[in-house]
Structure 1
């Protein structure tokens, strides 16, 4: 009987030790699982932030692209308007550019509206800011071209032939020809 009691005591102690080891192992697994879950959730937030940043960059790039395209389309419209002012018929302009007559008419009207707006802004500008007419032999400045003055004299494009030593592009922009050596 003593042996049975001793065996039961040993078995109980062994069972308690096993359960204690299992609990300790489970507690360690729980701590590691909790740490991994925390890392996972933090990374999930970083992914959301990266997605948000990407969306903001894409939105900004789209806006810049749209602004550049709009500016270029206005310059194209200006080219068509100058062609029209020089007497080219709308169907001819449309045929040469691959546009429909309706699209060409719309672009020419847009250029006329823009030119009217530029003229009214120039008239409202203080005298010191107004464009000074240049000698026809002087080269066009980048600032003059950016402001919409594509002719050498800084004024409106009147369709006159460029001065000697200058070249006119298809769009009406002028540049000084460099003498070739």
Structure 2
């Protein structure tokens, strides 16, 4: 793994701080690359080389919270972390993921809709692997791979944003609990 140069790390921190400030003041729709570059005191080219586009910048803004969430379900206390039964862990995981998605919904919407497959890879793979493992323990012999996708689908940012207008997040969590209860049979 190559280590980031000191000046590059400093620029990254300035860029992310500027972007966070713009999102706080204007919302995600106000996040323009030229404005971020100006606020950070870097060239627009530096921003594009570093993040690619607005969705890359959105993912970078999401990253800190994402790392905290992953640490919680990998090594945190039960029921989200190790030590609880698979059904309890899966419920805690999906509920925490629902809250985590709502917390940064606008950024996730931007990031997940940048391209047809933008949602998949990275964090999704971590969620999918974790949930597949829990489902495999909960119901050996089940198609844990496809069941994990089915349980993660309602938490896609575009669908969740669409549903939140008519369905509160607690209703979504309750429906996911019902699905897991069915798996636990």
Classify the TM-score, shorter chain: under 0.3
Answer with 1 or 2: which has the greater Rg: 1
TM (norm. structure 2) is 0.22
TM-score by length of structure 1 reads: 0.22
User: Which structure exhibits the higher relative contact order, with contacts defined as CA atoms closer than 8 Å and separated by 6 or more residues?
Assistant: 2
